[in-house]
């Protein structure tokens, strides 16, 4: 589904930092690489200091031999000029949703080799918006149409922004490199209706009191935007309580573990717990499993 929202990257928040420090002329140099994948969304119209990129995801539904371009709009809300370069990367979510980044073309399901840029770098003045044109060109082969594929487009600042910070006896120079990841998904038209979700198990987590885990797998050929939750019903007085939902996307062939901790205000006693995974799609049946448990806080 096409997303028309935008992503905001704020200075001094959510740093993924890679530090290279060494003494040189009585100073320490630190490089801070700020990497943010485009999942945080803010649609409030207000003044911002940061970087604004939209859309946050590029969805393609191309047939073999077809080529389509899409545009990334980048607005620089910092008070200084910035230069960005665009490049591709492969990536995966692991079973708990952590991102793993790989060289482009590493994965069988990568579409990175089909991506090119009309302009892979752009210089943006403060308060200015510039575009990077992303092109996907499908090969004219049946094998290219057999699976959904994906990659990332990274936008990374080229010119380091140096901030000198005085220390006790040395001067520290902090070089901040901004990097934003844009999801790229290619789902062949004939696979858009191939949606299959299966719950594999629902169980308590060993050695963790009142913690439970749903395991599910996407057996179709489209990414699913799921939510998981628990519905508790007291066997003593039929009191109801819902835990969650937890929202998560899941790629084809991916297994996902969804963990829940029961709130401490739930009274002790026996309960029926219904575990549910909903793909938020009328074409995909709800997946559910029920268990009877005794809660002891």
Same domain (yes/no): 52, 102: yes
> Is there a single domain that holds both residue 142 and residue 283?
no
Which stretches of the chain drop beneath a pLDDT of 50? 1-34, 36, 38-44, 163
Give the Å distances, CA to CA, from 19 to 13, 14, 31.
Answer: 16, 15, 5
Q: Are 52 and 154 in the same domain?
A: yes
Residue 2, domain member (yes or no) = no
Q: Look at residue 72 in the predicted model and tell me its pLDDT.
A: 96
Residue 1 located in a structural domain: no
pLDDT > 70 fraction of the chain, expressed in percent and rounded: 78
pLDDT in tens, 194-220: 999 999 999 999 888 899 999 999 999
pTM score, whole prediction? 0.75
| Same domain as 185, residue 75 | yes
Name the average pLDDT for the chain.
83
Q: Using the 3D structure, point to which of 190, 209, 242 is the last residue of a domain.
A: 190
- pLDDT tens for each residue of 30-39: 444 445 454 4
- The residue whose two tokens read 């403060």 is 126
Tell me, yes or no, whether 41 and 141 share the same domain.
Answer: yes
For residues 64 and 149, state if they share a domain: yes
Let me know whether 139 and 234 are in one domain.
Answer: no
Structural domain that includes position 33: 7-190
Among 172, 190, 208, identify where a domain stops: 190
Are 64 and 12 within 8 A, CB to CB? Answer: no
């Amino acid at each position: 589904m096409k997303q028309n929202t935008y992503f905001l990257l704020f200075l001094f928040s959510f740093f993924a930092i890679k530090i290279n420090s060494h003494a040189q002329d009585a100073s320490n140099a630190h490089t801070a690489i700020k990497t943010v994948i485009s999942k945080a969304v803010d649609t409030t119209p207000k003044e911002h200091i940061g970087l604004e990129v939209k859309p946050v995801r590029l969805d393609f539904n191309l047939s073999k031999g077809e080529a389509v371009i899409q545009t990334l709009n980048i607005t620089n809300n910092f008070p200084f000029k910035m230069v960005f370069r665009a490049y591709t990367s492969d990536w995966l979510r692991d079973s708990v949703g952590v991102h793993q980044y790989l060289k482009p073309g590493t994965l069988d399901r990568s579409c990175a080799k089909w991506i090119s840029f009309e302009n892979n770098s752009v210089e943006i003045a403060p308060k200015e918006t510039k575009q990077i044109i992303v092109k996907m060109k499908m090969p004219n082969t049946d094998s290219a149409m057999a699976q959904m594929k994906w990659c990332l487009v990274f936008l990374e600042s080229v010119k380091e922004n140096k901030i000198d910070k005085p220390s006790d006896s040395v001067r520290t120079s902090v070089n901040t490199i901004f990097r934003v990841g844009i999801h790229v998904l290619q789902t062949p038209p004939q696979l858009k209706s191939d949606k299959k979700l299966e719950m594999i198990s629902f169980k308590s987590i060993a050695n963790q009191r009142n913690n439970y885990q749903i395991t599910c797998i996407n057996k179709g050929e489209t990414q699913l935007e799921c939510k998981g939750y628990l519905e508790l019903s007291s066997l003593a007085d039929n009191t109801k309580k819902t835990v969650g939902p937890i929202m998560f996307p899941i790629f084809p062939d991916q297994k996902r573990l969804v963990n829940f901790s029961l709130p401490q205000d739930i009274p002790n006693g026996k309960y029926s717990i219904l575990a549910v995974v909903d793909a938020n799609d009328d074409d995909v049946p709800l997946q559910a499993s029920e268990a009877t448990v005794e809660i002891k806080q």
